[in-house]
């Protein structure tokens, strides 16, 4: 692939962002990360990093005039569903208003390609399974709504300004880089796999399973876990797509295979050889019983293949990363302070 300019990666110091920076660099691409480091880590990227926020229009203007940017991969945003229900303004500000600042800076400079981090949360309660891209989009929380609004904005910007985009609707991102150099390290952890591994590492006493009365074989929720390296690859393939075709595209990024919370806990015990105490807790608000992607479109149109998304590989890579965090005393006391 030939690119005259750089790829700007917003949220490049975050979990999926840093894996994408790494993969693009391995492909010989010239990348530049922009991150406000509210949840990301400067030492996760090995490329030029601008520390700043997408609310800063002057900064955005300067970046697009100082650098020749060929395309943008946009990860920066807020992503905790529960928090979005209590603090919707943060989600519309970060995921919509700040995203608009980015688009406007791009349009001003004629940068016409963007890969957007969307989510399975745009679909809301599933009407059928697996979920394909044409499934009705009726988000049930402000997080999903903010992602859907941004997808819609991209459609109107395509029409008005010829901006081409790929919106990648992630299912459940998990795992860590194969060399354990990068992984998930959020200031507040709410996701299942890191929570399970924190219990295995004896950083938390017990894993709370939110609901065991769902209409699934073991009564716990089923999700489609996709390895973060596969997810990074989906961004690379999306860039290729926009170098060939213009338009507005959306793809699910998942495996088509669902795993229950119970299966995840068992896989964690097998990989870590640790006992993981569990406790059943009430259902978490807004959790559908089953969310599994129909992942055919991205396979057929972009040649995407989920190579590392076996639960065992996800768990092994995530565990290696957790052990590294533990060795480096980087585990933080986590208190759920939402703001």
Of 279 and 327, CB closest to ligand UDP: 279
- Tell me the three state secondary structure of residue 99: helix
Q: Which of 15, 91, 143, 170 is catalytic?
A: 143
- Tell me the three state secondary structure of residue 187: coil
Count Cβ atoms below 10 Å from residue 296 Cβ, excluding itself. Answer: 15
Of 6 and 259, CB closest to ligand UDP: 259
228 phi, psi to nearest 5 deg: -60, -30
143 is catalytic: yes
Of 40 and 262, CB closest to ligand UDP: 262
Smallest distance from the beta carbon of 71 to ligand UDP, in angstroms? 27
Side by side, the strands of the sheet bearing 222-223 are 259-260, 222-223, 290-291
Q: Which residues contact 333 (CB under 8 A, 6 or more apart)?
A: none
Smallest distance from the beta carbon of 172 to ligand UDP, in angstroms? 5
Smallest distance from the beta carbon of 119 to ligand UDP, in angstroms? 8
Structure tokens at 203: 């950083």
Residues belonging to the chain: 339
Smallest distance from the beta carbon of 162 to ligand UDP, in angstroms? 33
Interface residues toward ligand UDP, by CB under 6 A = 81, 172, 190-192, 195, 207-210, 221, 223, 261, 284, 287
Of 21 and 222, CB closest to ligand UDP: 222
Smallest distance from the beta carbon of 190 to ligand UDP, in angstroms? 5
Shortest CA distance to 294 belongs to which of 200, 145, 171?
Answer: 171
Q: Do residues 157 and 103 touch, judged by C-beta distance below 8 A?
A: yes
Of 97 and 285, CB closest to ligand UDP: 285
Angle at alpha carbon of residue 80, lines to 320 and 295, rounded to 5°: 70
Q: Which residues are catalytic?
A: 143
């Amino acid at each position: 692939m030939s690119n005259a300019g750089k790829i700007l990666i917003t949220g490049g110091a975050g979990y999926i962002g840093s894996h994408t920076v790494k993969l693009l660099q391995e492909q010989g691409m010239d990348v530049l990360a922009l991150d406000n480091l509210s949840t990301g880590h400067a030492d996760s990227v090995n490329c030029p990093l601008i520390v700043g926020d997408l609310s800063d229009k002057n900064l955005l203007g300067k970046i697009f005039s100082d650098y020749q940017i060929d395309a943008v991969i946009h990860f920066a945003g807020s992503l905790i569903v529960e928090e979005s229900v209590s603090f919707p303004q943060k989600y519309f500000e970060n995921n919509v208003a700040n995203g608009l600042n980015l688009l406007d800076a791009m349009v001003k400079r004629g940068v016409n390609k963007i890969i957007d981090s969307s989510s399975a949360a745009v679909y809301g309660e599933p009407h059928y399974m697996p979920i394909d891209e044409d499934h009705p989009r009726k988000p049930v929380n402000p997080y999903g709504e903010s992602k859907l609004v941004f997808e819609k904005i991209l459609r109107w910007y395509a029409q008005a300004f010829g901006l081409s985009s790929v919106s990648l609707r992630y299912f459940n991102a998990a795992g860590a880089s194969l060399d354990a150099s990068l992984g998930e390290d959020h200031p507040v952890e709410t996701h299942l796999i890191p929570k399970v591994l924190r219990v295995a590492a004896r950083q938390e006493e017990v894993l709370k399973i939110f609901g065991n009365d769902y209409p699934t074989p073991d009564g716990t929720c089923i999700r489609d876990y996709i390895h973060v390296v596969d997810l990074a690859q989906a961004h690379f393939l999306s860039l290729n797509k926009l170098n060939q075709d213009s338009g507005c595209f959306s793809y699910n990024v998942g495996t088509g295979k669902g795993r229950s919370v119970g299966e995840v806990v068992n896989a964690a015990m097998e990989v870590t050889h640790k006992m993981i105490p569990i406790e059943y807790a009430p259902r978490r608000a807004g959790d559908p019983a089953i969310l599994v992607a129909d992942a055919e479109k991205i396979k057929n149109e972009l040649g995407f293949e989920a190579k590392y998304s076996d639960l065992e590989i996800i768990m092994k890579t995530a565990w290696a990363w957790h052990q590294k965090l533990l060795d480096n005393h980087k585990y933080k006391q986590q208190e759920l302070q939402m703001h």
